[in-house]
Amino acid sequence: MLPLAVAVTALSLSTNGVAAADPGPERPLAPLAKATAATSPPQSAIEAMEAVNRATLAEPTQWAGTWYDATTGRVVTAVAGGASEGTRKEAWSKAGSDGTVVQVERSFADLAQLSDTIMQRGSIASVGIVSAAMDWERNGLVVGLEKVTDEARAALAADYGDIVTVRQMTPPRDHEGPSRLRDRYPYWGASGWAPPRAGQMHCSTSFPMKRPDGSKHFLVTAAHCNHPYQLDAATMNSSETSWSNVIGTSKGYQSSFCQSTGESCDIGSTKYGDISVIKVDGVAPRIYTGGPDGTSSAAVVSTQTGLPAVNDSMCASGARTGTTCGYKITDNFMSVRNSEGKLRTPVVMAENLSGACIYYGDSGGAVYKPVTGGVRASGVISGVGSIPGGCALFYTSISYAQQLFDAEVVTTS
């Protein structure tokens, strides 16, 4: 067995609080995050990274993420310095002959705790903190600021050393709003819904789910669509004049949000992003695709069981915009505050530079990967933000819905 390569990043945490307004020329600044060129890893690399992502979530103190090195064509897997011998052997097994394993200082659990600490601050040097995302390659975090200033960079460097890098980020907007719309039993995902007798479409659904014993059926949507009130859900009637065809309810069912705050909060000891469910009488393993008012659909043939791989490609399907593709995952475990300052965590961020983007009313919709025979369920649309030359999609991994609701995505397999 080859020895572990060692990547060491110094840990330098300060308890001095926010730095003074003038950083002074001698004070270090948190580095700007490097723009990562979009790559297209082979499917074998995607599958290897997804396997490591599952292990990372299962044993966060042992693992520290994975990434694809486009220069060498290798999947790199990181384990924490205190990882057991069993974890190290498992890492090499998952890496395979074309992969490599490195040892790093901080585990995923360490980085997640630091992410929570940074997000709880809300701002630094009078600049709003929008997000904190895993930077697997640096064994650190990328902190998103509403405005990148030297004062904020100096304060981050003073408090967190070289663990963090910085990028500008606009707070994402939740996507409720006006106008798939007349879905009927058994219900499909990526449809539109609204409270009964509403004047306009409210949100979208993502994927059909059921309890393992088949006793209950659900459509997954976004938690912010059911806050502050858990709602009954209706589709349009045949004449398209009102949302009067009641299909189910969210009342009495768990949401990932705390009722008092309207943001992601601990349920047990875990946060579950931005998800809730609509209980319906029956579902089928399909989602709507194509245009916003079309009848096209695709079979749901499989489900992602952990975090998606960075640089994997995704499509989104919501009732307002229809299907948009070209999204590349840039961050697979992120905490972010939306335009109203509400915390969403954990979420996935995917960038799209093609001009296509989701819009108001797509919240709760489906994020998926096209595969042979249909689609692979990946997540639930939460919001959208702007980036230079395109937009950023934020979504909750469908694996969190399966955990929170004790349910499984209904598939053809």
The DSSP-derived string for 7-34 is ---------S-SPPS---TTS--PPBPP
User: Is the separation of the CB atoms in 305 and 54 below 8 Å?
Assistant: yes
pLDDT at residue number 239 = 65
Backbone angles phi, psi at 107, to 5 degrees: -80, 170
Residue 200 CB neighbours (<10 A): 12
Partners of 122 in the beta sheet?
Answer: none
pTM of the model: 0.83
230 vs 224: CA distance, rounded Å:
10
Q: In whole angstroms, what is the distance from residue 225 CA to residue 194 CA?
A: 9
Closest CA to 246 of 259, 232, 260: 232
Which residue type, as a one-letter code, is found at position 13?
L
Separation CA 92–CA 97 (nearest Å): 9
| pLDDT reported for residue 200 | 85
Q: For the chain (length 413 residues), average pLDDT per consecutive 10?
A: 34 35 67 85 94 96 96 95 96 89 97 96 95 97 96 97 95 64 93 90 95 96 94 83 90 94 94 98 96 89 96 96 96 96 97 90 97 97 92 97 97 94
Question: What distance, in Å, lies between the first and last C-alpha atoms of the chain?
Answer: 38
Contact 76, 69 (CB under 8 A): yes
The residues pairing with 278 across neighbouring beta strands, listed in sequence order, are 219
Q: In what order do the strands lie in the sheet with 208-210?
A: 232-235, 245-249, 276-280, 217-221, 208-210, 408-409
